[in-house]
Copies of this chain bind each other. A is one copy, B any other.
Amino acid sequence: MDLSAIVEHGAFDLMCLNKYCRSPSSYTVTSEGERKSSSERKSSSADSGVSLKERKKSAEIVSGQYGLNLLLVGVALMLAVGYHGPAVKEKHLLSFITALMLGQILWMLWYIGRRVARKTAPLEKDARSGTSWIRGGITIMALLSLIMDAFRIGRYIGYRKCMSAALVVYPVVHALHTVSQVHFLWFHIKDMIKTYETFERFGVIHAVFTNLLLWCNGAMSESEHFLKDHKKRLSELGYVNLSIADHGPHCNCSTRACSVFSSSLYYLYPFNIEYHILVSAMLFVMWKNIGRTAHHHHHHQQERPHVPRIRGLSAGPALGLVALASTIAVLAVYTVHVGETVETHDSAISMFYHHGIVLLGCMGLAGALGLLVYRTDSRPPDRSKSASRQLDQEMLVGASVGTWLMCWCSVVAAGVTYSSPSYRWVALAYSLLLVLEKSVQNLFIIESLYRTDEAAETQRPTHAPRATVSTEIFSVSASLSSPFRGDREVHRQVHRQVCVCPRKRPATPVPTAPSRAGTLGWRRRVVRNVTVFLILGNMSLWLLPAFGCRPQYDNGLEHETFGFTIWTMVLNFAMPLNLFYRMHAVSSLVEVFQHL
């Protein structure tokens, strides 16, 4: 039942993962042979070169198909487990996943061993892949996953009389897998593999899909648990009398901590789920980098003056923090009230919708403000084609589809409902606003990605000569017409004055620069504030569903119109996409902010 979502995500995430394969800022990764000189190309058309490239391309397709099928076998087992039939049990699924994890551990050991043995030959690195803040985040999530494994082992000890051994082997291997994988991520994720390509390609894709399968399994367990909780709550409130099948262990716990372990587990799920999806994204970048060559570019960033991160920030972070704080309050109140009595249940849902309407309204306005600011900026944005930007764009819109479907279902349900609860019209308004907010935010993020200079300079590695030409043209026209670019020019001027000139002309003032900076910096300041506010807003909107605040389950409107099965299916499709969307929006906005 709650498995429908899984099916699509295999295909979807494959698409999604491409995103993390961005062109780096200080290095450029290009496919082998793409930027080769004519003489190099001549030599590579000799037989050995051809067969190597042949093998590489075939290995890419074959390994991709291998990985997809691994995932699909796992999904098939998951679907069978989801039915709770007599033939396939959870232990079978966990054994399969354990085998995949062991395979990945062995491969990583082989890889690390070989790297250590050949320490003399330094490997090319993709400098941009796996920045330290992403690796730090992953490490924290990995630690929480380890705690989860400990809880699982603790629960097994309590129920060991009636639980299959597979249920303790799984967390032990998972812990081992987590530790070795984090080590691998810290020291090898930037590697650009050149030798033994075929074997290493299969190893990396195996790792990618093992993590994707672990993500699917986590998402399934989480939503199954959520659904069970939801049904229990409905029964307690007297709404329905659903029979809740208990698929837990059928014996008494021999220790006192079992229930603590079981209930704590579910607070750790969101981190475990995000951990696996992030790791598979990073490994996917590594897979794409196999056989590629890193090209060193000029470090544009170091040439630019350092702009303090917090400069010009005022309303954005303030409003954003208010949003975040109020969201946490709403989350706490909702979680407590929704299961108490029918009255508090309805008021909790109303509160959620009112809070959502205010937050979404502000976010929509902020996005619209950002777009308006861009409209007043006559500097032509960089419109050259870039595969990674195109992918970013497709992913944002693609991940929005889940929420949009959910929203339109809510609109239909609120429009035609017979029961007409108190929150009917706020639910309708909330859903419409959500559609609007995502549309505006997508436009803003896509526009921003095309506006950031760094992106323009580094995401066009294979057209470097043309990029230079157009950059020159842009700065010529911009110095005449564009205050936005002018702002930066001024910064650079000021910087030069401060750092270089004083020795020569210490007393000479810079007559125009400060006033121009004062009057012209407003666009950038506004966009920075908008970006920070949107980052915090999206984090708030991630927090709510990630920690169980999902009124779409509780409000009853959609159940009435769509029935339990269809609506659960829609939610299981839309919810993970929605969580992914918010995460992806935050990471895109952080990137935009760093280049502003």
Select one of B8, B46, B83, B87 contacting A8, CB under 8 A.
B8
CB of A418 within 8 A of CB of B86, answer yes
- Residues of B within 8 Å of A566, CB to CB, are 1, 3, 79, 82-83
Looking across the interface, which residue of chain B has its beta carbon closest to that of A47?
B378
Considering only residues 8-62 of chain A, those with a C-beta below 8 Å from chain B are 8, 10-12, 14-15, 31, 33-34, 38, 41-42, 44-47, 49-50, 53-54, 57-58, 61-62
Select one of B7, B45, B435, B443 contacting A380, CB under 8 A.
B45
Could you mark each residue 539-566 of chain A with 1 if its beta carbon is under 8 Å from any beta carbon of chain B, else 0?
A: 0000000000000000000001111011
Does chain B have a CB within 8 A of A521?
A: no
Could you mark each residue 201-239 of chain A with 1 if its beta carbon is under 8 Å from any beta carbon of chain B, else 0?
A: 000000000000000000000000000000000000000
CB of A565 within 8 A of CB of B565, answer yes
Does chain B have a CB within 8 A of A501?
A: no
Smallest distance from the beta carbon of A23 to chain B beta carbons, Å?
Answer: 13
Does chain B have a CB within 8 A of A123?
A: no
- Residues of B within 8 Å of A439, CB to CB, are 62, 65, 69
Secondary structure at the A interface, as helix, strand, loop or mixed, is: helix
Q: Which 9 A-B pairs have the closest CB atoms?
A: A87-B416, A76-B408, A83-B563, A76-B409, A50-B380, A45-B477, A8-B8, A76-B412, A72-B405
Looking across the interface, which residue of chain B has its beta carbon closest to that of A408?
B76
Smallest distance from the beta carbon of A560 to chain B beta carbons, Å?
Answer: 7
CB of B7 within 8 A of CB of A76, answer no
* 23 CB < 8 A contacts A-B: A1-B565, A4-B4, A14-B398, A45-B473, A45-B474, A57-B383, A58-B443, A58-B447, A61-B397, A61-B442, A65-B397, A72-B408, A73-B411, A76-B405, A79-B562, A80-B413, A80-B416, A83-B561, A85-B560, A88-B412, A88-B416, A565-B565, A569-B569
Does chain B have a CB within 8 A of A469?
A: yes
Could you mark each residue 374-412 of chain A with 1 if its beta carbon is under 8 Å from any beta carbon of chain B, else 0?
A: 010010110111010000011001101100110011011
Does chain B have a CB within 8 A of A64?
A: yes
- Residues of B within 8 Å of A573, CB to CB, are 7-8
Does chain B have a CB within 8 A of A75?
A: yes
Does chain B have a CB within 8 A of A77?
A: yes
Smallest distance from the beta carbon of A302 to chain B beta carbons, Å?
Answer: 28
Distance between Cα atoms of A4 and B47 in the complex (Å): 50
CB of B411 within 8 A of CB of A76, answer yes
CB of A4 within 8 A of CB of B569, answer yes
Looking across the interface, which residue of chain B has its beta carbon closest to that of A409?
B76
Does chain B have a CB within 8 A of A470?
A: yes
CB of B408 within 8 A of CB of A61, answer no
A38-B469, A41-B473, A53-B380 are contacts. A87–B560 as well, Cβ < 8 Å? yes
Does chain B have a CB within 8 A of A570?
A: yes
Select one of B404, B450, B469 contacting A69, CB under 8 A.
B404
- Residues of B within 8 Å of A385, CB to CB, are 31, 34
Smallest distance from the beta carbon of A136 to chain B beta carbons, Å?
Answer: 32
- Residues of B within 8 Å of A86, CB to CB, are 418
Does chain B have a CB within 8 A of A341?
A: no
Given contacts A15-B15, A68-B397, A76-B408, 4 further A-B contacts (CB under 8 A): A7-B405, A7-B573, A8-B11, A58-B443
CB of A470 within 8 A of CB of B381, answer no
A34-B385, A85-B560, A435-B69 are contacts. A64–B397 as well, Cβ < 8 Å? yes
Smallest distance from the beta carbon of A18 to chain B beta carbons, Å?
Answer: 10
Looking across the interface, which residue of chain B has its beta carbon closest to that of A42?
B473
Does chain B have a CB within 8 A of A198?
A: no
- Residues of B within 8 Å of A418, CB to CB, are 86-87
Considering only residues 450-481 of chain A, those with a C-beta below 8 Å from chain B are 450, 469-470, 473-474, 477, 481
Does chain B have a CB within 8 A of A279?
A: no
Looking across the interface, which residue of chain B has its beta carbon closest to that of A375?
B54
Select one of B80, B378, B474, B561 contacting A88, CB under 8 A.
B561
- Residues of B within 8 Å of A75, CB to CB, are 405, 408
Does chain B have a CB within 8 A of A347?
A: no
Does chain B have a CB within 8 A of A417?
A: yes
Smallest distance from the beta carbon of A396 to chain B beta carbons, Å?
Answer: 10
Distance between Cα atoms of A418 and B38 in the complex (Å): 64
CB of A61 within 8 A of CB of B446, answer yes
Smallest distance from the beta carbon of A505 to chain B beta carbons, Å?
Answer: 35
CB of A409 within 8 A of CB of B79, answer yes
Distance between Cα atoms of A62 and B68 in the complex (Å): 33
Looking across the interface, which residue of chain B has its beta carbon closest to that of A75?
B405
CB of A442 within 8 A of CB of B65, answer yes
Interface core residue of A42, A79, A413 (most chain B CB under 10 Å): A79
Interface core residue of A42, A411, A435, A562 (most chain B CB under 10 Å): A562
Smallest distance from the beta carbon of A402 to chain B beta carbons, Å?
Answer: 9
- Residues of B within 8 Å of A46, CB to CB, are 477
CB of B378 within 8 A of CB of A443, answer no
